[in-house]
Amino acid sequence: MNLRPAAEADLDALSQVHRRAFTPGWGPEEIADLASGPGAFGLLVEDGAPLGMILCRALAGEAEVLTLAVDPDARRRGVARALVAAAAMTARSAGAQAMFLEVAVDNHPALALYEAHGFVRAGRRPSYYDRGGGIYVDAVVMRLDLGDGSL
Ligand SMILES: CC(C)(COP(=O)(O)OP(=O)(O)OC[C@H]1O[C@@H](n2cnc3c(N)ncnc32)[C@H](O)[C@@H]1OP(=O)(O)O)[C@@H](O)C(=O)NCCC(=O)NCCS
């Protein structure tokens, strides 16, 4: 299993993983849009084929997880744990003192992952996700303390 920074040449691989994990998932153009924003960075895990990806932004002392996806056939093998740890390290190196994310209140695997990593619940956004058919789900805002940047 190889974890490395994602580059422009990886857009198709990033999209492939995202589309395996989410319906409908993001295409290469949507990912390129986000990845070209200020402070954005992506990480990719592969093992012959792409298995997992994370896209984040670290800006003005704060970082945000924009998306995290692991191929359904590669789950519960520590791929997401490795991606979150590497993203937190990258964000800290970029000067971020905290990392934030939003996760659906019914996404139990992701909530368990983030809580195991040390994220704490910092708020709630009512009806944040539109699931279609008039169904809306709250988001939990989570925060990870990255320290003050000292060694
Ligand atoms: C959430 C997701 C990224 C987890 O990826 P993963 O590679 O399977 O996670 P890991 O194997 O690194 O799991 C690390 C820890 O997270 C928790 N966890 C992960 N999946 C879990 C599940 N299905 N049920 C309970 N806990 C889970 C466990 O604490 C796990 O440690 P353990 O396996 O030693 O018990 C993956 O399920 C996914 O892509 N889901 C769809 C997309 C998504 O929801 N993304 C996050 C949006 S905010």
- What tens digit of pLDDT does each residue of 69-125 get? 999 999 999 999 999 999 999 999 999 999 999 999 999 999 999 999 999 999 999
CB within 8 Å of 137: residues ≥ 6 apart: 104, 105, 106, 127, 128, 129, 131
Contact 54, 65 (CB under 8 A): yes
Per-residue H/E/C for 42-90 = EEEEEECEEEEEEEEEEECCEEEEEEEEECHHHCCCCHHHHHHHHHHHH
**What is the predicted pLDDT for the residue at 18?**
98
| 150 alpha carbon – ligand 1 mean position (Å) | 30
Pocket test for ligand 1, best of 113, 121, 125, 137 (most atoms within 8 A of CB): 113
Question: Which pLDDT tens digit goes with each residue over 130-150?
Answer: 999 999 999 999 999 999 655
Any ligand 1 atom below 6 A from CB of 66: no
Which residue, among 101, 105, 99, has the nearest Cα to 129 in the 3D structure? 105
Q: Where are the domains of the chain?
A: 2-145
Question: Which pLDDT tens digit goes with each residue over 45-83?
Answer: 999 999 999 999 999 999 999 999 999 999 999 999 999
Question: Which pLDDT tens digit goes with each residue over 4-30?
Answer: 999 999 999 999 999 999 999 999 999
Minimum-distance ligand 1 atom for the alpha carbon of 115? 29
CATH class of 2-145: alpha beta
Residue nearest to atom 41 of ligand 1 (CA): 21
Any ligand 1 atom below 6 A from CB of 75: yes
Assigned token pair, 106:
């019914």
Q: Give the integer Cα–Cα distance in Å for 59 and 56.
A: 10
Q: What does DSSP assign to residue 150? A: -
| 22 alpha carbon – ligand 1 mean position (Å) | 14
**What is the predicted pLDDT for the residue at 1?**
87
